[in-house]
Amino acid sequence: MSLGISGKTAQAFQSSAITPLLALVGLLLGFFAIMVTPKEEEPQIDVTFANVYIGFPGASAREVEQLVSIPAEQVLSEIKGVDDIFSISQPSQSVLTVAFEVGVPREEAILNLYNQIHSNKDWFPENLGVSEPVIKPMGIDDVPIMAVTLSAKNPDVTAENLTQVAHALEVELKRIPGTRDIYTIGGHNDVVQVRLDPARMNGHGLAFDDVRNALMSANAGGYRQPLIQDNQVIQIQAGNFLQNTTELEQLIVGKSASGLVYLSDVASIKRMADVPDQAVFTRDLGESSSSPAVTLAIAKQPGTNAIDITQAIDERLEKLHNRLIPDGVKAEVTRDYGITAKAKSDKLIAKLLFATAAVVVLVLALMGWREAIIVGGAIFITLAITLFASWVWGFTLNRVSLFALIFSIGILVDDAIVVVENIHRHLHMGTKKLLEVIPEAVDEVGGPTILATFTVIAALMPMAFVSGLMGPYMSPIPINASTGMLISLAVAFVVTPWLSYKLLNRHVPDGAHAHDEEDPRQGKLYDFFNKLMRPFTVGAHAGKKRVLLFAGITGLIFLAVALPAFELVVMKMLPFDNKSEFQVIVDMPEGTPVEETLGVLEELSDELMKVPEIKDVQLYAGTASPINFNGLVRQYYMREYPNQGDIQVNLVDKHERDRQSHEIALSVREPLQAIGRAMNANVKIVEVPPGPPVMAPIVAEVYGPDYDRQIAAAKDLRALFEQTPDIVDVDDYVEADQEKWLLDIDRQRASMLGVAQSSIVQAINTALGGEDISYLHTEHNKYPLPIRLELAEGDKVDLNQLMVMKVRSQSGAFVPLADLVKVRKSTIEKNIYHKNLQPVVFVTADMAGDLDSPLYGLFSIAFGMDDAGLDWNQWYIRQPALADDISMKWDGEWQITYETFRDMGIAYGVGMILIYLLVVGQFRSYLVPLIIMAPIPLTVIGVMPGHALFGAQFTATSMIGMIALAGIIVRNSILLVDFINQKSAEGMAFADAVIVAAAVRARPIVLTAVAAMIGAFFILDDPIFNGLAISLIFGIFVSTMLTLVIIPLLYYAAFHKQHD
């Protein structure tokens, strides 16, 4: 007989000496990939954005908006690849955030940003007073993979001592290959405080500028200059730097009637730790109170292995004990993403091996040990080459890429099972030589196997083009699975025939007959399907029975689809994972000092330490904890005001606790927020999101023609949020009123007295805020040691002390500040927020409760707005083009959910079109592909009830499972229809061929279905991917059972008249 490409390929490789070498190369490539592929817990999404800081000293928020933010937004919006531009116009400064589209290379994005800014420097007039833009790029590689918290074991160790140890460790740890940015949070750095005494200055007849100029001019040095003398070049260097506080004390700053005036005569000079504007404390389980600490945050370079780096850091820290780390200092690792990545990858690789073993055992039970070895060998070779291909694609070994391989086990093994099962069947049909049987058996299923493989790829590959953050997060699934399918097809036609020839060569099946063909209309399977299906093909009422059957199936599909409408199946982007950490974010009213913020954090930590699953907590007041990916996107690193704080909560290992991290977070929310309400603090519980993070789970963007109206509308909307059941963590981006004293300068009087306004402003700013006039030069400090000129801390609390300070006029006379300024009390202006050039006010929230899905909370609020009197235009997909009245747009998890399911729906549709075209090309019919694709809706009958049965949410991973099911189930239809056509062509009656196809193909179809279900079973316990597992298990189970009956009957109903 004439062989096709699959039969010829099998014939060429079944006894070739090169075949085992190819298999060995494939295995070696897999081992190589495992060794060199970086291991991470989550996929590294290439998210690039940058913060642009533009100062405008003295300008109001409205001036900053009009003169800085809006022009900057217009210029930056011209950059190609920009997704969103946010700006915050605040008094004296504009902060812009330029977010690039996902996938834009970091280097390209930042280069374009710098080029755009520096080529448009003329957007601000030269003497406007706007400072040079400062650009700070941020990306996924800025997220620390490790945090080491240093704390004191005894009270003799101060925060200053801890800071010195941390700075020494920064240098030491930076020597470890692969480390990137290493910095200290909560450090108390040294500073030389030069605290002026206004009374003593007045007594010596010195003005502020006299001291300032003396300090600046006394600390200068120059470059070396050559001097030739006596035929020798001598390097001359002029000037020397201030090197200690004694030199500062002896610095002459002026003359008075009593003689020379030294700096020590008018100021106290002391080298000391700076007055902290941030604080870090740590507390372990069982400790009665927290202790001062500093935290070292360590990031890694892109493309490096997190596991190797964190292990190297651990080893280095161990060696540095009692060397750089004194005995009185405790160094505790409070974040280690290397360990979590290793634990996750080891667990998933073990699951991958167990899933493979389970499939091999299945084949062993149903076909024999030789066939099991053949299938097992094919799986291992396919997985090995797929891992190598994944490394070539640039993927890391993370939870998504490994889950892709586990869920693909059942798909990857299909080709090998179908080929081996058909060889096995042919061996029982006659006495041909094995070298003749193998090519014929492979060729018989080769065509439909190739087609079925490409239908699965056609169903999966469009998912690789999902846009937004979710695209690169999930891309390993379609790409790895599709690559694996192609490799498994090649292995099935190349390696499987060789293994079959070697293992089955001397194997004579029991019961083999000496005739060329067994009658397929025999056996228990045929009897079962004949009894089940014959009434639908023969008899006067067969047609009506088929109609009733098809109508019943259609009714079941509609019932399954209706389950989400009745909330029997809850829709959500992704469920929460069982993480080892969460955060407590605290916002106090603006104007709250850092000490009071720390006091609130201490009260909250007391409550947290009552929870037995909590291992330790770190308190961060006036600064942010080391950011994670969620904190990167939400820009928590910008939380550096005294009224802001957060608590990093670390849990004991998940194996040592019964509750999931999400359950623990839910349990502490109410008691913590009760403490917050009592202390006038807004407390939010922030968990590590299971997928791409957003600003908040529920975000409302309020737009309008007037910003004051927008603020008022946002307050009304916030009230509705707070009244809606199960809506928690409500907040808005409107600052609390904070008192401001404006020192108005009498310009006319200042001019008459010959005092420049700039001198007055500088004196006030330096006295209160301090000015780093110069730096003390030492040889042992890693960071510069500033000489800070300011008033004493006690004098800063009394405005009268400031008013007695004098400035020098052009004539040399001294003028007290009290004669030049008047105090006017007011409030600080509110920040003005923009998104994509439109003023906006944000209202944010989360959702807890039974549904635990922000989508339901969002729509509950949206549908209740009219009843609350908020009859605004609501936008769900894009910003309003023209906000001529109050309107709003919903964002947050809804936006990413909409984009993800929209793109997945498009991918699903494209996959269906591709499958249809492939089947049309194979069967040369427009009707047959529709019959073959008919089982796709049948998957819903299993998927939705399966989620309802498990009480699981229908998530993005559930949708991925449904998309994969389309390709898997069509594969079964192709095998059935192809066999029906084959038997009909051989002369078998059409009604008999339909039943025989179900009976003969039931075994490989059920075998591959069970194999796919086994692969899915091993990811059923994962909080995120259990939706994928449920879709596969229940979808495959129900649709496979129905397909074996529905497809042959549907094919019979469509074509029986032609055959009759």
pLDDT in tens, 855-886: 999 999 999 999 888 999 999 999 998 888 99
Question: Minimal CA–CA distance to 726: which of 844, 854, 865, 896?
Answer: 854
Q: Are 1020 and 1030 in contact (CB under 8 A)?
A: yes
Tell me how far apart the alpha carbons of residues 131 and 133 are, in angstroms, rounded to a whole number: 6
- Burial (CB count <10 Å: 0-12, 13-18, 19+), residue 539: exposed
Determine the Cα angle at 127 with ends 123 and 133, to 5°.
50
| Residue with token string 């975000």 | 699
Q: Are 672 and 685 in contact (CB under 8 A)?
A: yes
Classify residue 397 by its DSSP letter. B
With cut-offs at 50, 70 and 90, classify the pLDDT of residue 507: low
**pLDDT tens digit sequence for 26-41:** 999 999 998 888 888 7
Give the pLDDT of residue 512: 43
Q: Are 81 and 99 in contact (CB under 8 A)?
A: no
Classify residue 186 by its DSSP letter. S
DSSP H helices in 119-192 = 159-174
| Residue with token string 């529905």 | 1046
**pLDDT tens digit sequence for 880-914:** 988 889 999 999 999 988 988 888 889 888 988 99
With cut-offs at 50, 70 and 90, classify the pLDDT of residue 519: low
Q: Which residue has the higher pLDDT, 555 or 276?
A: 555
Q: Are 420 and 500 in contact (CB under 8 A)?
A: yes
| Residue with token string 């834009």 | 104
Amino acid at 1037: F
Question: Minimal CA–CA distance to 16: which of 4, 28, 8, 26?
Answer: 8
Q: Are 645 and 621 in contact (CB under 8 A)?
A: yes
Q: Which residue has the higher pLDDT, 983 or 87?
A: 87
Element (H, E) at 135: strand 134-139
Question: Minimal CA–CA distance to 446: which of 43, 8, 928?
Answer: 8
Q: Are 146 and 337 in contact (CB under 8 A)?
A: yes
Q: Are 87 and 124 in contact (CB under 8 A)?
A: no
Helix/strand/coil for 475: coil
Give the pLDDT of residue 517: 46
Q: What is the mean pLDDT of residues 95-110?
A: 90
Amino acid at 423: I
The tokens for 602 are 């201490």
DSSP H helices in 428-541 = 434-460, 470-474, 476-504, 524-533
Torsion of CA 551, 554, 558, 560, to 10 degrees: 120
Distance set, CA 13 to CA 6, 419, 976 (Å)? 11, 14, 28
Q: Would you kindly state where each structural domain of the chain is located, as residue ranges?
A: 1-36+368-507, 40-139, 190-228+244-273+739-827, 522-562+925-1060
Give the pLDDT of residue 522: 67
> Would the pLDDT of 470 be above 50?
yes
Tell me how far apart the alpha carbons of residues 75 and 70 are, in angstroms, rounded to a whole number: 9
Helix/strand/coil for 706: coil
Question: Minimal CA–CA distance to 437: which of 369, 362, 507?
Answer: 507
Q: What is the mean pLDDT of residues 559-585?
A: 90
Q: What is the mean pLDDT of residues 302-311?
A: 89
The tokens for 1023 are 């909080």
Looking at CATH, the fold of the domain delimited by 40-139 is given as Alpha-Beta Plaits (3.30.70)
The tokens for 219 are 């600390």
Q: What is the SS3 assignment for 916-946?
A: HHHHHHHHCCCCHHHHHCCCCCHHHHHHHHH
Average pLDDT, the chain: 88
Tell me how far apart the alpha carbons of residues 576 and 534 are, in angstroms, rounded to a whole number: 49
Close Cβ partners of 1009 (under 8 Å, ≥ 6 residues apart): 410, 972, 1036, 1037, 1040
The tokens for 306 are 């997190």
Element (H, E) at 1012: helix 990-1017
List the CATH code of the domain at 190-228+244-273+739-827: 3.30.2090.10
Q: How many CA atoms lie within 13 A of 178 on its CB side?
A: 16
The helix-helix angle for 399-427 and 337-367 (nearest 10°) equals: 10
Helix/strand/coil for 432: coil
**pLDDT tens digit sequence for 1022-1038:** 888 889 899 999 999 99
Over pLDDT 70: what percentage of the chain?
98
Q: Are 973 and 1045 in contact (CB under 8 A)?
A: no
Tell me how far apart the alpha carbons of residues 616 and 148 are, in angstroms, rounded to a whole number: 13
Say whether 522-562+925-1060 and 1-36+368-507 share the same fold.
Answer: yes
Give the pLDDT of residue 765: 83
* Pairing mode, strands 291-300 and 232-236: unpaired
Question: Minimal CA–CA distance to 114: which of 93, 87, 135?
Answer: 135
Tell me how far apart the alpha carbons of residues 558 and 560 are, in angstroms, rounded to a whole number: 5
List the CATH code of the domain at 1-36+368-507: 1.20.1640.10
Name the most confidently modeled range: 189-193, 425-429, 594-598: 594-598
With cut-offs at 50, 70 and 90, classify the pLDDT of residue 513: very low
Tell me how far apart the alpha carbons of residues 729 and 727 are, in angstroms, rounded to a whole number: 7
Name the most confidently modeled range: 426-430, 733-737, 1015-1019: 733-737
Q: Are 888 and 702 in contact (CB under 8 A)?
A: yes
With cut-offs at 50, 70 and 90, classify the pLDDT of residue 214: confident
The tokens for 541 are 């009422």
Tell me how far apart the alpha carbons of residues 526 and 439 are, in angstroms, rounded to a whole number: 27
Give the pLDDT of residue 511: 44
Rg (CA), the chain: 37
Helix/strand/coil for 276: coil
**pLDDT tens digit sequence for 753-789:** 888 888 888 888 888 888 888 888 877 777 888 988 8
> Would the pLDDT of 1059 be above 80?
no
Q: Are 49 and 138 in contact (CB under 8 A)?
A: yes
Residues in the chain: 1060
Classify residue 536 by its DSSP letter. G
Over pLDDT 90: what percentage of the chain?
39
Contacts for 825-828: CB closer than 8 Å, 24+ residues apart = 825/739, 825/740, 825/741, 825/742, 826/739, 826/740, 826/741, 826/742, 827/737, 827/738, 827/739, 827/740, 828/91, 828/590, 828/735, 828/737, 828/738, 828/739, 828/740
* Centroid of chain to Cα 12: 48
Give the pLDDT of residue 430: 62
Tell me how far apart the alpha carbons of residues 710 and 694 are, in angstroms, rounded to a whole number: 22
Give the pLDDT of residue 514: 39
Classify residue 464 by its DSSP letter. G
The tokens for 204 are 């010596």
**pLDDT tens digit sequence for 799-847:** 787 788 888 888 778 888 888 888 888 888 999 999 999 999 999 999 9
Question: Minimal CA–CA distance to 661: which of 672, 650, 670, 671?
Answer: 650
> Would the pLDDT of 175 be above 80?
yes
Give the pLDDT of residue 333: 94
Q: How many CA atoms lie within 13 A of 805 on its CB side?
A: 31
CATH class, 522-562+925-1060 region: mainly alpha
> Would the pLDDT of 509 be above 60?
no
> Would the pLDDT of 682 be above 70?
yes
Give the pLDDT of residue 46: 76
DSSP H helices in 656-773 = 661-678, 707-723, 747-753, 757-769
